[in-house]
Structure 1
Amino acid sequence: MDSIFSGEARDLVDRSARPQSLIITIYAAYSRSNGGWFSANTIIQLCAELDVAEDAARSALARFKRRGILISKKQDGVIGYAISPEMRRSFDQGDARVLQRRDSPINEGWILVAFSIPEKLRAIRYQLRSRLTRIGFAQVSGGLWIAPLQLSTDAISLAKSLKVEKYMNIFSAEHMAFEPTSAAVQEWWDLEGIQEVYNSFSKTTKPVIKYWASKNNAIDASRAFRDYTTILTNWRHAPYFDPGLPAEFLPKSWAGYQATENFFKLHDKLAGPALNFALNIAKK
């Protein structure tokens, strides 16, 4: 049976062609340098660079407005959309996970999340379980979940965002017995599935890395914007599935190492030119 990570790996290439995914990346990567706001025309022009049709871009913007992700706002009489305060917080928190290099930490122990949510709130319970998985937690049993200790802040933020603090307790812990911790980790996390996500990402980056390696210091700003936005759209989910386990619990050929190297090789070269391109479009 496929794990959720198999679906994520297959989904990776498709994600960078979806208007909604690309617009989220545009706002996350570029809008905060423009006060969190872009005109509707700016978004449409940037989407056109990514081969997204105008009607698809407008439809996605309208959907984000209905969901409260974007707020319709005029600046100097120009119609546009700003990120909501909640989305700004999400983007700011996400930077630490997505845009900072994560070396395998030392083994400092574990965080345990225990919760019991009443049946009348089962939709929230389902959402909590889904989001715990998507920030790197693994289910030990029932309402008991585990992650490396460095994910404590993520767990607390998640509990507050879902307003489930009164149903949840969070502990720091050590694994004492009875099976080896390395064996338990293999049971708790689908490491093969996470590696599949990383391998799929690395596959998408190879032709892009090859292209830019041939250009030396020459930068085509439009191409930099297209490539970086696409790569970031593919990348920004992967670090959340990875709990950031100590190296002693990972396979020696852990695919996350190569995927991380590939992303930051492109990030370091393209992020600045891509941002400048987006801001120049916004000024027109």
Structure 2
Amino acid sequence: MKPRSIVFDLFGDYIRYHGGEVRLRTLTALLECFDVGESTVRVVMARLRREGWFDTRRDGRETVYALNDKSWRLMDEGRTRIFERSREPWDRQWSMVIYSVPESERGVREELRKELAWLGFGPLASSTWVSPHNRLTEVQEHFADQESVRLDLLRCTSSGLSRDREMAARCWDLASLDADYAELLRTYRPRMKAYRAGTVSPKQALVERMELIHDYRLFPFRDPDLPEELLPAGWHGREAHDLFLQAHEALQEPADRFFTELSATDRVA
């Protein structure tokens, strides 16, 4: 777990629900739980502020880091993709994005591909990405300010369900993804007894909850949340998502207690 990732996960799972801001001293104490030293925390937070992810203010001799519009938007989008899964019947409609980016704008093209993957699109062909969900409005909004990006946004159908399944297999490496979901289940299923029994200490609950989020939150970049009709037999993704939600909830009370007590202690110190 990189310090940068831990910071975003702490803001996304705790700090956003406690006013959206935190003292640097409190954040340093939280990162110490993950063996991240004070000097590293200062460097990481200064870099994130320069990148525009956080605003800062002074409270006496203390520096306070606060979420801004950019980071709030990231938190909201990330939480939706990580915690929510579609269960609606599929209408057999594909959303298709055909893009054109000048050769001189390779960085823009790479960023576009990352955003499309995050939104659940997969590459059907060169410069043509598809999704079984209607997220064309989100695509349009994400790239509204990119003058170098030309987008053709379409809704379409294939010739039949067998072709739909073949398209899904071409766009995403479902076998590898399913194997990784199975590994997540093997890792966390044995821990559920201790989580539910409340035998994990508050500090360890916070650490393990962050590790859980870290292990799971990369899946939405790879998993398009396909309708059941397009999933291979024996798919582990939905079971893994349910286990993630159960473990996250089971660790909530002791982890929140540790976070609240640590924050109160640092305010008094």
| Pair in the same fold by TM > 0.5 | yes
Written as runs of structure 1 = structure 2, the 5 A alignment for 1:50-69 is 50-69=34-53
Q: Which residue of 118, 141, 159 maps to 1:176?
A: 159
Kindly provide the amino acid, as one letter, of the partner of residue 173 in structure 1. C
Aligned position for 1:259: 240
The aligned runs of 1:35-114 (5 Å cut-off) are 35-75=19-59, 77-100=61-84, 102-108=85-91, 109-114=93-98
Check conservation: 2:177, 2:223, Cα contact below 8 A: yes
Residue in structure 2 matched with residue 194 of structure 1 by the alignment: 177
Percent same amino acid among aligned pairs? 24
**Aligned partners of 1:19 and 1:57 also within 8 Å:** yes
* Secondary structure of residue in 1 paired with 2:143: helix
Distance 1:75 1:156 in 2: 40
Deviates most, 67-76 or 84-93? 67-76
Query: Structure 1 stretches (4+) deviating beyond 4 angstroms?
Result: none
Q: 1:93 to 1:189 in 2, by over 3 A?
A: same
* 1:19 counterpart residue number: 3
User: What letter corresponds to residue 98 of structure 2 in structure 1?
Assistant: A
Q: Distance in 1 between matches of 2:101 and 2:10?
A: 36
2:120, 2:72 → 1: CA distance?
Answer: 21
User: 1:113, CA displacement in angstroms?
Assistant: 0.8
Offset from partner CA, 1:14-72 (integer Å, 9 cap, x none): xxx32111111001111112221110111111111223222332222222122222222
Q: Which residue does 1:147 correspond to in 2?
A: 131
SS at match of 2:119: coil
TM-score by length of 1: 0.83
Q: 2:188 and 2:138 mapped to 1: Cα distance?
A: 28
What is the alpha-carbon distance in structure 1 between the residues aligned to residue 208 and residue 238 of structure 2? 21
Q: Which amino acid aligns with 2:94?
A: W
Of 122-131 and 145-154, deviating more is: 145-154
When normalised by structure 2's length, the TM-score is: 0.87
SS of match in other structure, 1:196: helix
The residue type equivalent to 1:242 in the other structure is: D
Shift in CA distance, 272/152, structure 1 to aligned 2, threshold 3 Å: farther
Q: Secondary structure at the match of 1:79?
A: strand
**Which runs of no fewer than 5 residues in structure 1 stay unpaired?**
1-16
* Number of the residue aligned with 1:7: none
Give the whole-Å Cα distance in 2 for the aligned partners of 1:178 and 1:228: 39
Q: Residue 221 and residue 148 in structure 1: after superposition, are their counterparts in 2 closer, same or farther (change >3 A)?
A: same
1:130-169 Cα deviation digits (max 9, x unpaired): 3322332111222211001243344234324x63596112
Unaligned regions of 5+ residues in structure 2, if any? Answer: none
1:119 Cα shift?
Answer: 2.2
Instruction: Give aligned pairs, total.
Output: 264
CA distance in 1, matches of 2:249, 2:4: 25
Task: Tell me how far apart the structure 2 counterparts of residues 197 and 70 of structure 1 sit (CA, whole Å).
Answer: 33
Map of 1:6 onto structure 2: none
Distance 1:207 1:57 in 2: 33
- Does the Cα contact within 8 Å between 2:118 and 2:220 map onto a contact in 1? no
Task: Say which SS state the counterpart of residue 252 (structure 1) adopts.
Answer: coil
Where 1:244 maps in the other structure, the secondary structure is coil
Matched, 1:206 2:189: yes
Return closer, same or farther for 1:76/1:252 CA change in 2, 3 Å cut-off. farther
For the residue of structure 2 that corresponds to 1:251, the secondary structure is: coil
Q: Secondary structure at the match of 1:57?
A: helix
Q: 1:243 to 1:269 in 2, by over 3 A?
A: same
Amino acid at match of 1:55: S
CA distance in 1, matches of 2:204, 2:238: 26
